[in-house]
Amino acid sequence: MIINNLIKLRQKLHMHPELSGKEFKTAELIKNELEKIEPDSIIEKFGGTGILAFFNASAPGTHKTLLFRAELDAIAVAEENEFAHKSQKSGVMHGCGHDGHMTILIGLASWLKHNRPDNLNICLLFQPAEENGMGAESVLNDERFTSLSFDHAFALHNLPGFTENEIFIRSGVFACASTGVEVCFQGRSSHAAYPEQGINPVNAVNAYIGSAEKLLEKFRDADELNKAVCTFIKMGELAFGISPGNAEIGYTVRAASDEGLKKGIDYLKEAVEHSRVLFEGNASFKQIEPFNATINDNFGSEIVRKAAKKRNIPVQILNQPFPWSEDFGEFRNCCPITIFGIGAGTNKPPLHSEMFDFNDALIETGIKIFSSVIEEFATSTR
């Protein structure tokens, strides 16, 4: 498949984004593209809307199997670009570049059609629901997946703000663990003239924020990658005759390890207990959209470095993990994993920006590096 056709596919995907778990038309489009390439088999509705495509080794026998993954979903952001391929769905756009990641995997499928390795089986996974952290787990829990065996899984992510078409890799933690936290105080509303007849959570909210921020000082001081941000506070409405009864507080917590993340979560739980003494109502605590740390395998990271060198693609070794999270880390439950970044250009809008658009110049590089990874793995020993 020539690059111009892949660019047209990428832009078509960009025009028709779908949110996590609702990637029905996206999956159908991917399936149609794969059917043109004719892999050995295609499995639909994998972990929800996911698609799996298999390319068996060209030689008979028992061989290792590599998994390459791209994401299907888009994000709930209203696009402000005005080019011809801008999103046609109000309030939804491919603001993380998953349209480009999918296109690279379709390009890899086209390469595999004519370049199957003798001694490796290749599986291409188009995964749903990465953005809410539910997709990888859904795939892993699909009973059809549990019957499969993989020796290594690879993925990539485009990186705005980094030099175009350079590869960025590190062994160990590549992307931080994170979770959303929601704290709710349930009291009782009343007329604002008779606040004593209700249970207003204002003192509990004040106590919670004060206690949480004090406790989180220790968390933040322990590691520069430990971050905790209050993202949401809601209590009542702009209605001057009502004393509210309920309040909600949201935090996002990030850390370089799953253990570090747990400490941040524990501090936020402890703050709930501190605030209960000032509140006669009920308080609840829950995690939302948890992501484990994404930890790269040393051997796989070296394979990526060698693969890039073979294709004369510059490689940079990262000094520390990215602060954002990736549910690709969940695949460590089935095999070693390696994810790397491709620089999208230093002057490009950031991920999740209203002005973001995947840089089509990365498509060819993505295909080259993935195909070179396959060639390196085919001749490696482990």
Q: What is the mean pLDDT of the chain?
A: 96
Tell which wins on pLDDT, 1 or 113: 113
Report pLDDT digits (tens) over 168-227: 999 999 999 999 999 999 999 999 999 999 999 999 999 999 999 999 999 999 999 999
* Topology given in CATH for the domain delimited by 177-290: Alpha-Beta Plaits (3.30.70)
Report pLDDT digits (tens) over 48-57: 999 999 999 9
Closest CA to 256 of 229, 230, 294: 294
pLDDT at residue 2 is higher than 90: no
Residue 380 — very low, low, confident or very high, per pLDDT cuts 50/70/90?
confident
Compute the average pLDDT of residues 138-147. 91
Distance between CA atoms of residues 83 and 78, nearest Å:
14
pLDDT at residue 382 is higher than 80: no
Q: Cβ contacts of residue 331 below 8 Å, gap of 6+?
A: 67, 69, 136, 140, 153, 337
- What is the residue type of 368? K
Closest CA to 283 of 292, 291, 274: 274
Closest CA to 373 of 317, 305, 294: 305
Q: How far is CA 245 from CA 128, 184, 225, 279, 330, in A?
A: 38, 11, 36, 11, 39
Domain 3-174+293-378 has CATH 3.40.50.720: no
Q: Cβ contacts of residue 141 below 8 Å, gap of 6+?
A: 47
Report pLDDT digits (tens) over 212-233: 999 999 999 999 999 999 999 9
Write the DSSP assignment of 19-69 as a string of letters.
-TT--HHHHHHHHHHHHHH--SEEEEEETTTEEEEEE--SSSS--EEEEEE
pLDDT reported for residue 1: 63
Q: pTM to 2 decimals?
A: 0.92
Domain residue spans of the chain: 3-174+293-378, 177-290
Helical residues (DSSP H) of 277-336, grouped into ranges: 298-310
